[in-house]
């Protein structure tokens, strides 16, 4: 019988959680490797190491504006690291306030465009400045792990970048607290969301983005298929790749394309830690945001509005800084691709309408949340 990994390696065209559940059910229990007590012990030690590392890296953080005295016991938080995102921050804050987020924890990685000052001026935002290396902080994970451990214990937390917009079932009619209340009632501690790259039709620089504008009004298209999925049997998380970045910037080496699987929404405990961005966590049970044994868990989407007219300048800046994964290979691919003025739109592109469209396409699910 085929294992889950071998089955998933052929699951090429669409991340459909219902279909995936059927495949895993067909594979049986062979998909869960019995790693034993020794491996579990090693992972617990690794988690303690991340906590100690986060404490050490917290020395690189200095308070710009601390409004944590405003926090109430049931508040929902957003945590984010940013650099030179002043143009994006007004809409970012508005979007998540409209969802029902109560407080923002922002780490400014040495911005020089005024974004840090703008964030600090907002009444529901606490800001820290980080002058240390983004790469050596594990791309901001250490800084946020520290702040979450200190402030977020017992709170629902959403970890997102300024160009990521969380979509969940019924988000057009229900605030995020309705989702977290249902997750609490269902004894669910983490909620998965696939990163969905959004892009315009035509050249990226054809329509300028203005400060405070909804970026999805410009970058309103996405790939409805063209995704691969596999399973990490050590951390239990799914690994998703594909979309426009894989087919345009990594078409010769699609296995190097960025990961699209994320677990951004978590009922935080000071014992938790992100391992690699929000792609995987410890304890590893938090990564089981899909149903292995049949059925279908609720899931969401992060609309990723990276591809605007600002992208070329941003890609060159990050390439020059060299602060990203694998010697900034991702941004080298972007810089080379952008020089050709690509049009990411193709005949299989879909224009975004709402979350129900994404569920019909199999990219997210309402599960048993009625």
Q: What is the pLDDT of residues 92-132, one digit of tens each?
A: 999 999 999 999 999 999 999 999 999 999 999 999 999 88
The secondary structure of residue 248, as a DSSP letter, is I
| CA separation, residue 55 to residues 31, 84, 136, 296 (Å) | 36, 25, 14, 37
Nearest residue to 103 via CA among 80, 127, 71: 71
Enumerate the domain spans of the chain. 54-162, 172-364
Nearest residue to 160 via CA among 263, 257, 242: 263
Separation CA 81–CA 103 (nearest Å):
14
pLDDT band at residue 19 under the 50/70/90 scheme = very low
Q: What is the pTM of this model?
A: 0.86
Contacts with 310 (C-beta within 8 Å, 6 or more apart), sequence order: 87, 209
Separation CA 83–CA 323 (nearest Å):
12
Helices 311-321 and 325-338: crossing angle, nearest 10°? 150
Q: What is the pLDDT of residues 169-196, one digit of tens each?
A: 999 999 999 999 999 999 999 999 999 9
Q: What is the pLDDT of residues 293-332, one digit of tens each?
A: 656 899 999 999 999 998 877 767 766 665 545 545 666 7
Instruction: Please state which CATH class domain 54-162 belongs to.
Output: alpha beta
Beta bridge partners of 103: 77
Q: Which residues of 286-301 are buried (b: 16+ CB within 10 A; e: fewer)?
A: bbbbbbbeeebbbbbb
Alpha helices in 238-308 (DSSP H): 243-244
Question: For the chain, how many helices (H) and strands (E)?
Answer: 11, 15
Assign 352 to helix, strand or coil: coil
């Amino acid at each position: 019988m085929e294992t889950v990994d071998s089955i998933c390696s052929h699951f090429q065209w669409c991340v459909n959680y219902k279909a995936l559940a059927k495949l895993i059910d067909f594979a049986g229990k062979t998909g869960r490797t019995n790693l034993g007590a020794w491996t579990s012990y090693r992972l617990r030690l690794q988690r303690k190491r991340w906590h100690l590392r986060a404490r050490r890296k917290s020395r690189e953080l200095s308070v710009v504006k601390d409004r944590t005295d405003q926090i109430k016991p049931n508040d929902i938080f957003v945590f984010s690291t940013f650099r030179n995102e002043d143009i994006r921050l007004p809409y970012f804050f508005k979007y998540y306030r409209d969802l029902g987020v109560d407080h923002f924890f922002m780490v400014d990685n040495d911005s020089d465009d005024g974004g840090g000052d703008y964030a600090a001026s907002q009444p529901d935002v606490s800001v820290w400045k980080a002058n240390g290396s983004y790469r050596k902080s594990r791309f901001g994970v250490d800084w946020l792990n520290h702040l979450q451990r200190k402030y977020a214990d017992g709170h629902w937390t959403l970890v997102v970048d300024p160009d990521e917009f969380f979509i969940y079932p019924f988000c057009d009619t229900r605030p995020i607290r309705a989702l977290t209340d249902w997750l609490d009632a269902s004894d669910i501690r983490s909620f998965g969301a696939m990163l969905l790259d959004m892009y315009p039709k035509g050249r990226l620089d054809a329509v300028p983005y203005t400060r405070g504008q909804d970026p999805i009004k410009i970058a309103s298209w996405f790939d409805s298929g063209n995704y691969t999925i596999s399973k990490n049997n050590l951390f239990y998380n799914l690994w998703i790749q594909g979309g426009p970045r894989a087919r345009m910037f990594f078409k010769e080496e699609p296995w190097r394309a960025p990961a699209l699987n994320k677990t951004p929404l978590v009922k935080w405990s000071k014992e938790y830690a992100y391992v690699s961005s929000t792609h995987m966590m410890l304890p590893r049970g938090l990564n089981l945001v899909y149903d292995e044994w049949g059925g279908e868990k609720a899931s969401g989407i992060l609309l990723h509005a990276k591809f605007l007219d600002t992208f070329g300048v941003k890609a060159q800046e990050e390439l020059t800084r060299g602060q990203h994964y694998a010697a900034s290979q991702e941004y080298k691919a972007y810089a080379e691709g952008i020089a050709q003025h690509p049009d990411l739109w193709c005949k299989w592109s879909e224009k975004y309408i709402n979350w129900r469209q994404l569920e019909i396409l199999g990219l997210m699910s309402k599960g048993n949340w009625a």
